[in-house]
Amino acid sequence: MLFIDNQNITDPRINLAIEEYALKYLPADHDYLLFYINEPSIIIGKNQNTAEEINADYVAKNGIHVVRRLSGGGAVYHDLGNLNFSFITNDDGNSFHNYRKFTEPVVKALNELGVEAELTGRNDIQVGERKISGNAQFSTKGRMFTHGTLLFDSQMENVASALNVNPEKFKSKGVKSVRSRVANISEFLREPMSIEQFRQHILNSIFAGSQVQQYVLTEADWKRIDQISAERYRNWDWNYGKSPAFNVKRVKRLGSGTFDVRLYVEKGLIKSASVYGDFFGLGETSEFTDKLVGVRYDREALEQVLDTLDLAYYFGPVSKEEWLEMVL
């Protein structure tokens, strides 16, 4: 096995591109191990509805990256207190769905630190009833990766805020995240340590004390990684537009009355919109909703449209911010 040094990059759009590049383009006669730590991000499962998983207002205000990954499963929050690992191997027919094969070395490393961790269910690592790691897999053309999170010292209040979405607001066929009781590994350590020390311990343990052999990414490798990042992980169509079709329904009381807003969103674009309520306005609401059709269902795009419209003309005294908060 060769270890890939990601040069301490914390941009998830680069780190996921490194992982994909290693999977698809590095020589298949080696297995690879990749570690990465991401700045605040929500990493969305391949089959999920992005809008349904994130608190859009909190994400926008806090500059949190939202990136869809190749593997399935639920949405997870990453920050600088979370260490991610990825085993990139051949798919030999016996490894896909075999999470124990890849989590055992990690569990062993945790046990060495006095953390009583174990694989539970299908793909979680827990200490008692509290989850410290979630894992997922992806396979293509005879190669696969198994990757997972290690919550070392994450800001738990941000985890809850970033992923806190009202389940009544959306109705879609996307795979829903299951929230579990989570904990930081730092709570269970015999002695305090930094995440850098923790990372080094996990690495040394996986290589069983022998010298860590590395694959050093070349200039040509980095060029292809940057291309993958631009085409997929920095691409709105991948991160948001790949979401399953869904309906948005929001009923809210504002100063000018009660609003019942309904949107149908497909491939990240608003396909139809309607507004009902007991508000007083001069204009026809259909004129307003027609302007929303074809617009991306995200804050920036909607804000640009609302800047061109006289909301008071259609709905009475209601602000742009109130509208954005209501529909997002």
Q: In one letter, which amino acid is 194?
A: S
Q: Could you tell me which residues are beta bridge partners of residue 216?
A: none
Task: From residue 179, give the alpha-carbon distance in Å to each of 134, 160, 185.
Answer: 11, 9, 18
Task: State residue 178's pLDDT score.
Answer: 56
Concatenate the DSSP letters of all residues of 237-248 into one string. Answer: IIIIITSPPEEE
Task: State residue 177's pLDDT score.
Answer: 62
* Confidence (pTM): 0.83
Interacting residues of 284 by C-beta distance below 8 A, sequence separation 6+ = 314
Task: State residue 34's pLDDT score.
Answer: 98
Q: How many residues does the chain have?
A: 328
H/E stretch holding 33 reads: strand 32-36
Tell me the pairing of strands 130-140 and 124-127. antiparallel
pLDDT values of the chain reduced to their tens digit, one per residue, 328 residues: 999 999 999 999 999 999 999 999 999 999 999 999 999 999 999 988 888 889 888 999 999 999 999 998 889 999 999 999 999 999 998 999 999 999 999 999 999 999 999 999 878 999 999 999 999 999 999 999 999 999 999 998 888 889 866 565 556 666 666 556 889 999 999 999 999 999 999 999 999 978 999 999 999 999 999 999 999 999 999 999 888 888 988 888 888 788 889 999 999 999 999 998 888 788 888 999 999 999 999 999 999 999 999 998 998 888 899 999 888 8
Task: State residue 6's pLDDT score.
Answer: 97
Give the C-alpha separation, 107 to 117, whole Å: 6
Task: State residue 172's pLDDT score.
Answer: 65
Task: State residue 74's pLDDT score.
Answer: 86
Task: State residue 142's pLDDT score.
Answer: 95
